Amino acid sequence: MKAVLAMRRRNGATGGARRGQSIVELALALPLLMLILLGTIDLGMVFHDYIQLRNAARKGAGYGAHFPNDSTGIALRVTRHGVPAGTTVISSCTSCTTSGGVPTGTGTVAVTAQNTFSPIMLGFLQSWFGIGLIPLSSTATMRVLQ
């Protein structure tokens, strides 16, 4: 019995007040922890989408180096490479001289893939920081092959 009374004196009259402290701390820290977690996820998704756009533009430019006049085929090659939905593909060929429909190898093909990323925390970012949709764009250029 003396041990129980000594413990109560050391911890205060009741230990319940200290147990509620951790719940209050969690309630105060949880929004900040969730903000950091969701921000990290958004940053990773933006980086992933940009890498996909960059690789797809490179694949489209590689195809365009062999077939510079086939803009439909270039766009199809880009969209089949796993880019996010709604990606816009723009291809252009500068100084492409062809003899009878065959490229002569003197020009360059530029392929641009564009998309707009919508973050998970879009509403929070717009209201607090003025950050909205994030435009992503990647361009790849290759010389036309003979």
Q: Is residue 33 part of a domain?
A: no
3-state helix/strand/coil string of 120-138: CCHHHHHHHHCCCCEEEEE
Distance CA 13, CA 116 (A): 60
Q: Is residue 83 part of a domain?
A: yes
Q: Is residue 113 part of a domain?
A: yes
Backbone angles phi, psi at 107, to 5 degrees: -110, -175
Instruction: Say what the pTM is.
Output: 0.73
- Domain around 129: 45-143
The amino acid sitting at 93 is C
Split into its structural domains, the chain has a count of 1
Q: Is residue 120 part of a domain?
A: yes
Half-sphere exposure of 124 (CA within 13 A, CB side): 11
Higher per-residue pLDDT: 12 or 115: 115
Given a cut of 80, whether residue 74 has pLDDT beyond it is: yes
DSSP assigned state of 106: -
